[in-house]
Chain A
């Protein structure tokens, strides 16, 4: 308890308060000078490109009442984006819910080969499929936790990973509450749905939207006044996954059930 001994009490910092304030204000001024040297963010669009990302704001809409669980989207995503085997940027979950008791939920191989009938032994009253993918959240936990700035959101609302800069630490994989990220076993960097950024910025739909035979998946653009998806968001009852986490997902669902997380 020497610290409380009155005789040995000495000031922790051997300078006066006035001196301390003087010194720290000049140090602050110095660091501000350094901050001025650092480059500032530009306000231009993607340099040299025929696409203005300030004129788009992408959203995604999934109608679970239409999905037939064929898995075309999962196969198309893998082919379009060279997704490594056993890894999924999008997948489809099956829900079979009895009147009472636990629900049966599965997603064999992410639905890449469709679904087989299962003997759940339940008297199923309610069954449906739920396609999932990155929600491209407005307030993403995954970007926040990246220690090196390899995860970022584009100005048109797509959450992307810079594989050149990623160190593969996996923090973002853990941070995503939707399980949308994985470490690519080939590149050892974080990998995720890019919302087919190479397609949507060249006037195409994402591969999964394009391939869906029943129109269960749709791409919308908030900055397009005539967009049908935005009209649905404005006039119908839509839901997002885990809204309590306040991640502000930009993938919206029609016909979601409370069993779905």
Chain B
């Protein structure tokens, strides 16, 4: 009996090792192809997604941004009954009116002169807090000698500083 080389018996070990190495390389290759670059930066998700959410454009600027041009209206509004109502609550976001990057007016700010705007807050509803000022608009207008027109509210009330 010839003494066999000990490597002959180790052949299957090498085969398995090569196979394992091939699987490992394939896995790492697949991983680098399919896993996003910033995956796992902060946790089991794509880390860059956080910054992407942060970088979305701001559209509501708050009353201070309106005051930069409309200081008279701002002052009148700030001293009136509607002081807690934001300009953008009725007019819409400032970004639709001014390009916030360039500081240029891009469109007219909407002015809603309709009863429906006032009714959003002041139409009498059973679910509204009882101490909040609310009226049956039709009855309120008619009993005050007005005409029940679409802009009836504005005959008596200035929305910037109503009484």
Within 8 Å by CB of B44, from A34, A68, A152, lies A152
Cβ contacts under 8 Å, A154 to chain B: 42, 50
| A-B CB pair tally, cutoff 8 Å | 152
Interface stretch (choices B66-74, B83-91, B141-149, B150-158): B83-91
Tell me, in angstroms, the Cα distance from A68 to B85 when the chains sit together.
13
Assess whether B6 is interfacial by the CB under 8 Å rule.
no
Q: Say how far B91's CB is from chain A's closest CB, in angstroms.
A: 11
Cβ contacts under 8 Å, B119 to chain A: 114
Within 8 Å by CB of B59, from A34, A115, A207, lies A207
Assess whether B124 is interfacial by the CB under 8 Å rule.
yes
Assess whether B121 is interfacial by the CB under 8 Å rule.
yes
| Total chain A interface residues with beta-carbon distance under 8 A | 61
Q: Say how far A225's CB is from chain B's closest CB, in angstroms.
A: 25
Interface stretch (choices A1-9, A211-219, A227-235, A240-248): A211-219
Assess whether A94 is interfacial by the CB under 8 Å rule.
yes
Tell me, in angstroms, the Cα distance from A116 to B119 when the chains sit together.
9
Inter-subunit contact A214/B84 (CB<8 Å)? yes
Question: Interface residue tally of chain B, by bracket?
Answer: 35 or more
Q: Say how far A139's CB is from chain B's closest CB, in angstroms.
A: 15
Cβ contacts under 8 Å, B123 to chain A: 114-117
Inter-subunit contact A40/B40 (CB<8 Å)? yes
Tell me, in angstroms, the Cα distance from A164 to B48 when the chains sit together.
10
Inter-subunit contact A197/B53 (CB<8 Å)? yes
Tell me, in angstroms, the Cα distance from A150 to B123 when the chains sit together.
43
Inter-subunit contact A165/B41 (CB<8 Å)? no
Q: Say how far A228's CB is from chain B's closest CB, in angstroms.
A: 16
Inter-subunit contact B86/A213 (CB<8 Å)? yes
What secondary structure prevails in chain A residues at the interface with B? Answer: loop
- A117's closest neighbor in chain B, by CB? B125
Contact with B along A59-78 (1 / 0, CB 8 A): 00000011111111001100
Within 8 Å by CB of A51, from B54, B60, B121, B129, lies B54
With contacts A79-B93, A117-B126, A198-B53 taken as known, whether A41 is within 8 angstroms of B120 at the C-beta atoms is no
Inter-subunit contact B53/A194 (CB<8 Å)? yes
Interface stretch (choices A10-18, A42-50, A174-182): A42-50
Assess whether A129 is interfacial by the CB under 8 Å rule.
yes
Within 8 Å by CB of A115, from B51, B55, B93, B127, lies B127
Cβ contacts under 8 Å, A152 to chain B: 43-45, 49
Assess whether B58 is interfacial by the CB under 8 Å rule.
yes
- B45's closest neighbor in chain A, by CB? A152
Query: Residues of B at under 8 Å CB distance from A?
Result: 20, 24, 27-28, 36, 39-47, 49-60, 62, 82, 84-86, 88-89, 92-93, 96, 119-121, 123-129, 132
Interchain residue pairs A-B with the least CB separation, the first 7: A127-B127, A162-B49, A152-B45, A198-B56, A114-B120, A213-B85, A197-B53
Given contacts A40-B40, A79-B92, 20 further A-B contacts (CB under 8 A): A39-B39, A41-B43, A47-B47, A76-B60, A79-B93, A127-B128, A129-B128, A152-B44, A160-B53, A164-B36, A165-B45, A165-B49, A194-B53, A194-B56, A204-B58, A211-B86, A213-B82, A213-B85, A213-B86, A214-B84
A-B contact pairs, 25 of them (CB 8 A): A39-B41, A40-B40, A48-B51, A51-B54, A67-B129, A68-B129, A79-B92, A115-B123, A117-B124, A117-B126, A124-B126, A127-B125, A149-B45, A150-B45, A152-B44, A154-B42, A160-B50, A162-B45, A165-B36, A165-B46, A194-B53, A197-B54, A198-B54, A198-B55, A214-B84
